[in-house]
């Protein structure tokens, strides 16, 4: 047990030790300062040229949002049709069929919004072509979209008045060439040398000791698994995701994938401090997020290590803790750590089955996604945290009798309205979607659908309701993990979660970028002795209280 806990501590410590220098490097990249990968300048200029982008052009926040949304619409259309006809396209050695329109709709949206909610099994529901040209491609560009959107907010923190906030296309391109791709190459190399497949061979067939012939899927999996974690995407090449022995062969690959999915979300916090030269402010954000993470992680590890009390009452010893749904090569502590990190970050990958977690663990996973403010995904983690900062600044200003200010700019009614709408939207999507699903289940349980609502749930009791709640919570948080007792590949779940995925992704991007653009255009007022400081423990405590109170009022009031 002590060895397992040490492994968790080492994983997190390595993440932070790597995140600080990476944050410094990221700040240099986006400030256009000299850095180690400047030899990529010709490649980036070529990309701008063929894309018709002027990298020297500064755009307003509205122009940047139009660019962001338009390019995502193009990806949606292309990905949808590739999935719709994948069965007739090349690179399909296993003969996998095309996806149905509703499944293709859900799949392409899910990967486009960095969620990777999979209503299909990776090895049989997609072909090598769509795994690479749709899923793998969207994993890079969705992560880069979030990072580029965050840099637009970084610009609004600088001590001067702006009418423009940068160029989305430039930040987007550099996110891929200078950050996501180099780190993914390193992670993929580690996976390949530890046994993860990376070829275009079809299934291999083996004969088990019982004499059964079993097909083992292969393919160019290592590259996708690398970016799924580096970009906080989470979609699995194999149906069992990172619980699969080829996707996550041993404890070393487990540590690598765990560090990879946490690295950029934490590094972006430090990058903010280096970018605007306010490192204490970055440490305040990091501290609040880390405390929130620990509040979820500690109870989860404790309950998983203590085992299942129902099994204990049967007189069965559980020396290694609660092992249902977990891999022996990882153990309950590493699985508990993964389950919390993957749900507070928008990764959603799993190395154990969340549906088999202890009840308290499942609650912590849900709370992490409902809060959706601790570390978060690539870029969007701080975007979600940003509107809590705006609300905290506004409330703090009113408490001390001053006009609320954030870094020399007044926070007024327009900004607080936008932040409030974004904060309340997630509640509507999660609770409204779950209520709709429960109503359909109870009203049309025996309807002659492709999959009858009565057959949605393997657990029709209270846990069945939790499965439906988890699905919408995961969709809204752009997470992608699930309580897999839910039968979700049908028209209702594909369409309903697809809509939640879109709104849950882009509204929390549009709102903060709009606030940042509005603040950037306001007159900059130098800070004085009466200005509310945002780089203190007191302000950090205020932000944490705002997060807890808003989440509690949103999800737990009757």
Confidence of residue 449 (pLDDT cuts 50, 70, 90): low
For 229-270, how does the pLDDT look when each residue is reduced to its tens digit (9 = 90+)? Answer: 999 998 888 888 999 999 999 999 999 999 999 999 999 999
Residues contacting residue 50 through CB under 8 Å, at least 6 positions apart? none
For 111-130, how does the pLDDT look when each residue is reduced to its tens digit (9 = 90+)? Answer: 999 998 899 887 888 999 99
Question: What does the mean pLDDT of the chain come to?
Answer: 90
Bigger pLDDT: 17 vs 211: 17
For 293-335, how does the pLDDT look when each residue is reduced to its tens digit (9 = 90+)? Answer: 999 999 999 999 998 888 888 888 888 888 888 989 898 999 9
**pLDDT for the residue numbered 482:** 87
Bigger pLDDT: 94 vs 11: 11
Separate counts of helices (H) and strands (E) for the chain: 20, 4
d(CA 303, CA 299): 6
Q: What is the mean pLDDT of residues 206-231?
A: 88
d(CA 34, CA 242): 37
d(CA 415, CA 512): 9
Is residue 215 scored above 90 in pLDDT?
Answer: no
Please check whether residue 174 is in contact with residue 150, taking contact to mean a CB–CB distance below 8 angstroms. Answer: no
Confidence of residue 530 (pLDDT cuts 50, 70, 90): low
- Say what percent of the chain tops pLDDT 90: 59
Residue 428 Cα distances to 483, 537, 554, angstroms:
21, 32, 9
Residues contacting residue 236 through CB under 8 Å, at least 6 positions apart? 118, 122, 225, 228, 242, 244, 247, 349
Please check whether residue 222 is in contact with residue 230, taking contact to mean a CB–CB distance below 8 angstroms. Answer: no
Confidence of residue 557 (pLDDT cuts 50, 70, 90): low
Please check whether residue 166 is in contact with residue 64, taking contact to mean a CB–CB distance below 8 angstroms. Answer: yes
- Domain limits, the chain: 2-556
pTM: predicted TM-score of the whole model, two decimal places: 0.93
Whose tokens are 């990309």? That residue is 47
- Dihedral sign from CA coordinates of 13, 17, 20, 22: negative
In Å, the largest CA–CA distance within the chain is 79
Q: Report residue 155 CA to chain centroid gap.
A: 23
Number of Cβ atoms within 10 Å of the Cβ of 56: 8
């Amino acid at each position: 047990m002590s060895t397992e806990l040490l492994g968790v501590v080492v994983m997190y410590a390595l993440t932070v030790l790597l995140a600080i220098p990476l944050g410094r490097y990221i700040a240099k990249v986006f400030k256009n300062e000299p850095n180690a990968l400047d030899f990529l300048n010709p490649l980036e200029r070529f990309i701008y040229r063929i894309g018709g982008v002027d990298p020297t052009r500064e755009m307003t926040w509205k122009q940047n949002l139009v660019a962001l949304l338009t390019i995502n619409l193009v990806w949606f259309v292309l990905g949808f049709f590739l999935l719709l006809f994948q069965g007739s396209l090349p690179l399909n050695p296993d003969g996998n069929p095309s996806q149905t329109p509703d499944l293709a709709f859900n799949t392409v949206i899910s990967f486009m919004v960095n969620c990777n909610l999979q209503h299909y099994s990776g090895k049989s529901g997609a072909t090598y072509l769509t795994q690479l040209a749709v899923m793998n491609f969207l994993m890079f560009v969705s992560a880069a979209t979030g990072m580029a959107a965050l840099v637009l907010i970084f610009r609004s923190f600088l001590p001067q008045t702006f009418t423009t906030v940068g160029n989305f296309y430039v930040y987007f391109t550099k996110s891929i060439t200078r950050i996501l791709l180099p780190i993914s190459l390193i992670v993929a190399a580690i996976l390949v040398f530890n046994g993860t497949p990376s070829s275009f061979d079809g299934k291999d067939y083996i004969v088990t000791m019982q004499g059964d012939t079993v097909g083992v899927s292969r393919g160019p999996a290592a590259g996708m698994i690398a970016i799924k974690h580096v970009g906080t995407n989470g979609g699995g090449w194999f149906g069992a995701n990172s619980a699969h022995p080829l996707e996550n062969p041993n404890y070393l690959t487990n540590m690598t994938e765990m560090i990879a999915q946490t690295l950029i979300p934490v590094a972006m916090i430090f990058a903010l401090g280096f970018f605007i030269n306010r490192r204490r402010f970055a440490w305040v954000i990091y501290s609040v997020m880390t405390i929130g993470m620990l509040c979820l992680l500690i109870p989860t590890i404790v309950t998983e290590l203590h085992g299942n009390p129902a099994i204990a009452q049967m007189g069965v010893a559980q020396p290694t803790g609660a092992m249902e749904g977990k891999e022996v090569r990882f153990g309950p502590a590493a699985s508990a750590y993964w389950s919390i990190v993957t749900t507070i970050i928008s990764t959603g990958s799993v190395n154990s089955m969340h549906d088999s977690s202890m009840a308290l663990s499942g609650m912590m996973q849900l709370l992490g996604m409902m809060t959706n403010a601790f570390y978060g995904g690539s870029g969007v983690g701080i975007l979600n945290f940003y509107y809590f900062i705006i609300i905290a600044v506004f409330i703090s200003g009113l408490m001390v009798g001053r006009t609320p200010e954030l870094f020399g700019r007044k926070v007024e009614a327009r900004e607080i309205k936008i932040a409030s709408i974004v904060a309340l939207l997630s509640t509507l999507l999660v609770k409204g979607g779950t209520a709709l699903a429960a109503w359909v289940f109870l009203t049309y349980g025996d309807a002659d659908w492709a999959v009858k609502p009565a057959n949605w749930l393997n657990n029709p009791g209270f846990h069945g309701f939790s499965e439906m709640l988890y699905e919408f919570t995961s969709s809204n948080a752009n997470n992608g993990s699930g309580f897999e007792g839910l039968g979700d590949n049908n028209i209702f779940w594909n369409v309903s979660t697809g809509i939640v995925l879109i709104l849950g992704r882009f509204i929390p991007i549009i709102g903060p970028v709009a606030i940042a653009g509005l603040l950037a255009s306001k007159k900059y007022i130098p800070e004085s002795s009466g200005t509310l400081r945002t780089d203190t423990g007191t302000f950090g405590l205020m932000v944490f209280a705002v997060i807890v109170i808003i989440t509690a009022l949103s999800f737990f009031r009757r």
